[in-house]
Amino acid sequence: MKKLIKQKTNFLNDMLDGLSKTNKQIEIISDTVVVRKNKKEQGVSLVSGGGSGHEPAHAGYVAKGMLDAAVCGEVFTSPTPDKILSAIKAVDNGDGVLLIVKNYAGDVMNFEMAQEMAEMEDIQVATVIVKDDIAVEDEAQRRGVAGTVIVHKYAGYLAEKGLSLTEIKDKVEDLLPKIKSIGMALTAPMVPTTGQYGFDIEEDEMEIGVGIHGEKGLSREKVEPVNQIVERLIQVLLTEVESDELIVMVNGMGATPLSELNIAAKYVGENLEQKSKSIAHWLVGDYMTALDMQGLSLTFVPSSEELLVALTDTTESPYFH
């Protein structure tokens, strides 16, 4: 297995060191918490985070118009409550903090503990939990995947507009059940901290419904041409998304070139057209990756005027476009 970076230790610290050296907008506090250099002086602050290995998520979205802080765990590992608390305390300006958490047991538990600790220090905190991965049948168990980035942008827009913590939480919770994602992979991610692949897969197989840590999906299939792959994903998505006007994200899993994502987008567009769906807005690129996994995910959200404005409003994050 060939990798530029095979570090079993220091992967996270080295990555954050590189990120802070090269990005003038952010700085690192408490070792693994990325915050904006220009702290927001008023308005609700947004904190997200989780395990690393999903770059540019989450640290790349710490910027005006999106997050105020990202708490970075080790690769595929939840950050600890003390780090999350550090983030909350660093960004709070008295107007409250919204935690945007992907639905993984460790993340949910640790963000919840941090919320309790912050509340004991009289900081107003609310939490929203993203569960957009419809590959898992039980809705309570659904994982948070690429749709989380749409939540970052939407909440970031609402915070910039000056809405209160309660208002933002309510609006995000209205949106959350409408965001649906499903992924697929040809290869497993190589986890540098273990030196192991995330799963085993044969040369002629693909995993449909894979998670962003290489979790098992809906089914293991023989590799098909990309138009058939997107048809499979779209069929599953449209069982849960009923709108005729969609916002569509084609998310790369880390080692899928932009050319391939655009080719996939072409087939997604044609397929939806045949199904009489229109696409109000596209997001194509690496938003929520799984290290160097080859594959992609699709996220569908029913279009709304407010969400379109939120997604196209400016942000200083170089990774959201």
Among 134, 292, 298, 301, binds its own copies (CB under 8 A): 292
3-state helix, strand, coil in the chain (%, to 5): 35, 25, 40
- Using rule CB under 8 A, residue 269 touches its own copies: yes
Which residues are tagged catalytic? 54, 213
Taking the complex as a whole, how short is the minimal distance between the CB of residue 206 and its own copies, in angstroms? 8
For residue 3, the minimal CB distance to its own copies (Å) is: 7
Q: Is 299 in the site for its own copies (CB under 8 A)?
A: no
138 near its own copies, rule: CB under 8 A: no
d(CA 308, CA 311): 5
Say how far apart CA 45 and CA 211 lie, in whole Å: 28
C-alpha to C-alpha distance for 321 and 315, rounded to whole angstroms:
9
- Evaluate whether 132 touches 284 at the Cβ level (below 8 Å): no
CA atoms within 13 A on the CB side of 223: 10
Sole window of 139-147, 173-181, 235-243, 286-294 interacting with its own copies (rule: CB under 8 A): 286-294
Residue numbers 165-204 binding its own copies by CB under 8 A: 186-187, 203
Residue whose pair of structure tokens reads 């005729």 in the numeric block = 244
Identify residue 312 by its one-letter amino acid code. Answer: T
42 is a site residue for its own copies (CB under 8 A): no
Indicate the angle between helix axes 165-175 and 147-160, nearest 10 degrees.
150
Q: Which range touches its own copies (CB under 8 A), out of 76-84, 85-93, 101-109, 261-269? A: 261-269
Q: Using the rule CB under 8 A, which residue among 193, 251, 294, 303 binds its own copies? A: 294
Using CB under 8 A, which of the segments 51-59, 134-142, 208-216, 297-305 binds its own copies?
A: 51-59
242 burial type by CB count under 10 A (0-12 exposed, 13-18 middle, 19+ buried): exposed
Separation CA 122–CA 111 (nearest Å): 16
Minimum CB distance to its own copies smaller for 41 or for 203? 203
Binding site for its own copies (CB under 8 A): 2-5, 7, 11, 14-19, 21-23, 52-53, 55-56, 60, 186-187, 203, 223, 226, 229, 250, 254-267, 269, 279, 282, 284-286, 289, 291-292, 294-296, 318-319, 321
